[in-house]
Amino acid sequence: MPTATRGAGLRGSAGIAVAMLVMNVTTYGFQMVAARLLGPAEYGAVASLMAFLLVLSVPQLGLQATAARRIAADAHDSRSVERSILRLSYRVAVVVSLAALAATPAVVHLLRLDSAWPALLIGLSAGPLTVMGGQAGVLQGERRWRALGLLYMAMGVPRLLLGCVFIAVSPTTTAAMLAVLLGLTAPAAVGWWALRRPRADPGPTAPSLPAEPARRVIAELASSSVVLLAFLVLTNVDVLIARRTLDEHTAGLYAGGLIVTKAVLFLPQFVIVVLFPSMSAHASRRSALLGGLAVLAGTGAVCTLGAYLLSPLALVFVGGSEYAEVESRLWLFALLGIMLATLQLLVYSALGRESHRSTYLIWAGVAAIVTAGLFATGITGLAASVAAVDAALVVVLAGLALRAVRGPEPRH
């Protein structure tokens, strides 16, 4: 790899790492502000609505993966792909928002909300969130790391600032959701600004993709969304099982341990963002996959060892002395986090190769966790069951990925 290209890649990795750190810290900060200013009852509604928004974000993630893969794999025609993806993003955003708004009565009933306004605001939030997914995918596929980094920071910072002001003025769920809606317009605005003038490329400049390729893009978007939904369920199903099978106190301790899991999962996400375009190009996908696995292995060793040796410090971030009973097992939750991060890398490697076998394997993993979790009797038992399933998925998916990138490019 030329020195200039390697240097640009390193600078891009560093910039994306910082941007995603800011995004995650400010997103977590919004949750902390809401929890402290609203109190348990109102914050419970906020947390449940944010979980609903997480489900609504699946098309956004699918759009980003589809856009990044197509642009990276077909760089000579990136202008045409960019226009088509952005047009599709607006259409999908309308569909997702209308579906979410139509589900408002059900959301109000299931989440036991006092008003329909918070659910309506979340439904509207799905629009800019989905549009931002297509924009982020274009920037990621074109390796425009600075603009993508600004978009990621705009995901978290405005939400935190608006949330502090709105909730302080009116400590209600509606105020918090209004902050979320207005905050999500910021990254969509950043993406629009970055993409307002299409980048020049030497390829064809057809006005749009013809009907058949457009249908293939939609099919790819659907398949990507399904596997990403499966991964989303895989990363969250154990906390639901804990609420079902463990007593309230023990389930709370397990949820506290999962804070470490999520922190370790999110820590190396920039690696996946930076490497995904390379994993989508046949010539570079093997080196990108091996490099990503090596980085995650090193990160996992450091995080797991750190959680074991510095468990009192880790406990502070979990929630303090009230969670002291789980302190000795925080290393296990750190191990869960790095296995999930590795699974995420392998899922995106499969998306880059347009391989769909990972979808069935991830859903099988979800079923295995649910089955094993129903017989768990404590924190260690449930965490160990989840770790065993995750480890098996890592081994199988890594084997499939390494075999695939070693062979010839598949025909479709």
Query: Which pLDDT score, from 0 to 100, does residue 213 have?
Result: 56
Query: In the 3-class helix/strand/coil scheme, how is the chain assigned residue by residue?
Result: CCHHHHHHHHHHHHHHHHHHHHHHHHHHHHHHHHHHHHHHHHHHHHHHHHHHHHHHCHHHHHHHHHHHHHHHHCHHHHHHHHHHHHHHHHHHHHHHHHHHHHCHHHHHHHCCCCCCHHHHHHHHHHHHHHHHHHHHHHHHHCCCHHHHHHHHHHHHHHHHHHHHHHHHHCCCHHHHHHHHHHHHHHHHHHHHHHCCCCCCCCCCCCCCCCHHHHHHHHHHHHHHHHHHHHHHHHHHHHHHHHHHHCCHHHHHHHHHHHHHHHHHHHCCHHHHHHHHHHHHCCCCHHHHHHHHHHHHHHHHHHHHHHHHHCHHHHHHHHCCHHHHHHHHHHHHHHHHHHHHHHHHHHHHHHHHCCCCHHHHHHHHHHHHHHHHHCCCCCHHHHHHHHHHHHHHHHHHHHHHHHHHHHCCCCCC
Residue 315's pLDDT band, with cuts at 50, 70 and 90, is confident
C-alpha span between 35 and 29 (Å, rounded): 10
Over residues 226-281, the pLDDT tens digits come to: 888 899 889 888 877 887 787 777 877 787 788 888 888 888 888 888 888 888 77
Query: Which pLDDT score, from 0 to 100, does residue 189 have?
Result: 96
Over residues 132-148, the pLDDT tens digits come to: 999 999 999 888 989 99
User: Minimum mean pLDDT among 121-130, 169-178, 273-282, 379-388: which range?
Assistant: 273-282
Over residues 344-372, the pLDDT tens digits come to: 999 988 888 877 788 889 999 999 999 98
| Model confidence pTM above 0.95 | no
CB 26 within 8 A of CB 159: yes
Give the amino acid at 343. L
Q: How far from 55 is each of 48, 122, 130, 295, 366, CA to CA, in Å? A: 11, 11, 12, 29, 16
Query: Which pLDDT score, from 0 to 100, does residue 7 have?
Result: 46
